[in-house]
Amino acid sequence: MGELKLPPIDYGALAPMLILFGVACVGVLVEVLIPRRFRNLTQLILALLGVVAALVFLVINRNTRIVTIGGAVAVDGPTIFLQGAILVLGALSLFLIGERQVEAGGAFVPQAAVVVGSDSDTRQTPGRPGLTEVYPLATFALGGMLLFVAANDLLTMFVALEVFSLPLYLLCALARRRRLLSQEAALKYFLLGSYASAFFLFGVALLYGFAGSVQFDAIHQAVASPQNSQVLLYGGLGLVSIGLLFKSALAPFHVWTPDVYQGAPTPITAFMAACTKVAAFGALLRVLYGAFEGARWDFQPVLGTVAALTMLVGAILAVTQTDMKRLLAYSSIANAGYLMVGVLALTEDGLSSTMFYLVAYGFSVVAAFAIVSLVRDSDGEATHLSRWAGIGRKSPLLAGVFTFILLAFAGIPLTSGFTAKFAVFGAAVDGGQTWLVIFGVVTSMLIAFPYLRVVVLMWLSEPGESTPAVSIPGFLTSAALALGVIVTIALGVVPAPLIDLTREASQFVR
Amino acid sequence: MKDFPFLSVLTLLPLAGAIVVACIPRARAELAKIVALVWSLAVLALSIVMWAAFTVGSTDRFQFRESYAWIPSWDARFTLAADGIALVMLMLIAVLFPVVILASWHDVDASRRSAPAYFALLLAFEFTMIGVFAAADVFLFYVFFEIMLIPMYFIIGSFGTGQKQYAAVKFFLYSLVGGLFMLASVIGLWVVGGHTFDFAALVEAGRSFDTNTARWLFLGFFVAFAIKAPFFPFHTWLPDSGGAAPAGAAALLVGVMDKVGTFGILRYCLPLFPEASRWFAPAALVLAVIGIIYAALLAVGQNDLKRLVSYTSIAHFGFIGIGIFAFTTQGGTGSVLYMVNHGLATGLLFIVVGMFVARRGSSLVSDFGGAGKLVPVLAGVLFFAGLASLALPGTAPFVSEFLVLIGTFSTHKAYAVIATAGIILAAAYVLWMIQRTTQGTLNPALDEVPAMRKDLSLREKVVVAPLILLLLVLGFYPKPVTDVINPAVQATLQDVGTTDPAPTAVADGKGGR
Q: Looking at residue B281, what is its pLDDT? A: 92
Nearest alpha-carbon partner for B315 in B298, B295, B337: B295
Chain B residue closest to A445 (CA)? Answer: B177
Instruction: Check residue B512 and give its pLDDT.
Output: 38
Contact residues, chain A, for B168 at CB < 8 Å = 456, 460
Mutate to test the interface with A, among B26, B71, B114 (most CBs of A within 10 A): B71
What proportion of chain B, given as a percentage, has pLDDT over 90? 48
DSSP B183-219: HHHHHHHHHHTTS--BHHHHHHHHTT--HHHHHHHHH
Contact B71 A430 (CB under 8 A): no
Q: Tell me the average pLDDT across A48-75.
A: 92
Alpha-carbon distance B143 to nearest alpha carbon in chain A (angstroms)? 5
pLDDT, one tens digit per residue, over B476-488 is: 999 999 999 988 9
| Gap between the Cα atoms of B482 and A39, Å rounded | 77
Higher pLDDT, residue B452 or A318? A318
Condensed to tens digits (0 to 9), the pLDDT of residues B262-284 reads 999 999 999 999 999 999 999 99
Per-residue model confidence (pLDDT) at position A393: 82
Give residue A126's pLDDT: 67
Instruction: Give the CB-side neighbour count of residue B256, counting CA atoms within 13 A.
Output: 32
Given a cut of 60, whether residue A1 has pLDDT beyond it is no
Q: What is the least distance, in Å, from the CA of A89 to any CA of chain B?
A: 24
Name the β-bridge partners of A175: A108
Report phi then psi at A151, rounded to 5.
-60, 135
Residue B39: other Cβ atoms inside 10 A? 24
Q: Which residues of A touch B (CB under 8 A)?
A: 407, 410, 412-414, 418-419, 422, 425-426, 429-430, 434, 437-438, 441-442, 444-445, 448-449, 452-453, 456, 459-461, 494-496, 499-500, 503
pLDDT of residue B511: 40
Indicate if the pLDDT at residue B508 is higher than 60: no
Give, for B387, the enclosing helix (H) or strand (E).
helix B376-389
What's the CA gap between A30 and A402, in Å, rounded?
37
By Cβ distance, the residue of A413, A441, A449 closest to B184 is: A441
Domains of chain B, residue spans: 277-500
User: Residues A307-321: pLDDT tens digits?
Assistant: 999 999 999 999 999
Residue type, A339: L
What's the pLDDT score for residue A8? 86
Which tens digit of pLDDT belongs to each residue from B292-306?
A: 999 999 988 888 888
Nearest to B180 among A445, A459, A496 (CB): A445
Residue A479 has pLDDT above 90, yes or no: yes
pLDDT band at A459 (very low <50, low <70, confident <90, very high): confident
Is 80 exceeded by the pLDDT of residue B156? yes
Close Cβ partners of A465 (under 8 Å, ≥ 6 residues apart): none
Please tell me the predicted confidence (pLDDT) of residue B510.
43
Identify the bridge partners of residue A108 per DSSP, sorted by sequence position: A175
Tens of pLDDT, residues B77-100: 999 999 989 999 999 999 999 999
pLDDT in tens, B417-448: 988 888 888 888 899 889 888 888 888 888 88
B173 and A452 within 8 Å at the Cβ level: the answer is yes
Report the C-alpha gap between B488 and A448 in whole angstroms: 37
Share of chain B above pLDDT 70, in %: 96
Query: For position B1, what pLDDT does the model report?
Result: 61
> What is the three-class DSSP state of A292?
coil
Is B143–A413 a contact, with Cβ atoms under 8 angstroms apart?
Answer: yes
Domain ranges of chain A: 11-504
For residue A78, give the nearest of A500, A506, A499 by alpha carbon.
A506
User: Which residue among A413, A425, A448 sits closest to B147, beta carbon to beta carbon?
Assistant: A413
Note the pLDDT tens digit of each residue in A224-266. Answer: 988 888 899 999 999 999 999 999 999 899 999 999 999 999 9
Instruction: Give the residue on B whose Cα is nearest the Cα of A426.
Output: B187
Confidence class for position B412, pLDDT limits 50, 70, 90: confident
CB atoms within 10 A of CB B477: 12
Cβ <8 Å between B73 and A500: yes
Nearest-Cα distance to chain B for A430, in Å, is: 6
Interchain proximity B187–A425, CB inside 8 Å: yes
Look at residue B506 in the predicted model and tell me its pLDDT.
Answer: 42
Q: What is the mean pLDDT of chain B?
A: 88
With 90 as the cut, is the pLDDT of residue A192 above it?
yes
- Average pLDDT value for residue range A134-139: 95
CB contact (8 A) between residue A460 and residue B157: yes
Tell me the C-alpha distance between B276 and B209, whole Å: 10
Q: CB atoms < 10 A from the CB of A27, how many?
A: 24
- Which among B71, B147, B184 has CB closest to A414? B147
Cis peptide before A7 (omega within 30 of 0): no
- Total residue count of chain A as it appears in this document: 510
> Is B440:B76 a contact under the CB 8 Å cutoff?
no
* DSSP assignment letter at B137: B
The neighbour count for residue A320, using CB atoms within 10 Å, is 10
Query: Cβ of A503 and B187 within 8 Å?
Result: no
* Selected residue of B23, B26, B73, B165 to mutate for chain A interface (largest A Cβ count, 10 A): B73
d(CA B182, CA B265): 12
| Chain B residue with the nearest C-alpha to that of A503 | B73
Where residue B507 falls among pLDDT bands split at 50, 70, 90? Answer: very low
State the amino acid at position B484 in one-letter form: V
Q: Is the pLDDT score of B367 beyond 90?
A: no
| pLDDT greater than 90 at residue A383 | no
Query: In chain B, what is the greatest distance between 2 CA atoms, to the nearest angstrom?
Result: 70
pLDDT at A390: 85
pLDDT band at B2 (very low <50, low <70, confident <90, very high): low
Band of the pLDDT at B503, cuts 50, 70, 90? low
User: What pLDDT, on a 0 to 100 scale, did the predictor assign at position A118?
Assistant: 79
The alpha carbon of residue B183 is apart from the nearest alpha carbon of chain A, in Å, by 8
Q: What are phi and psi of B395, to 5 degrees?
A: -100, 155
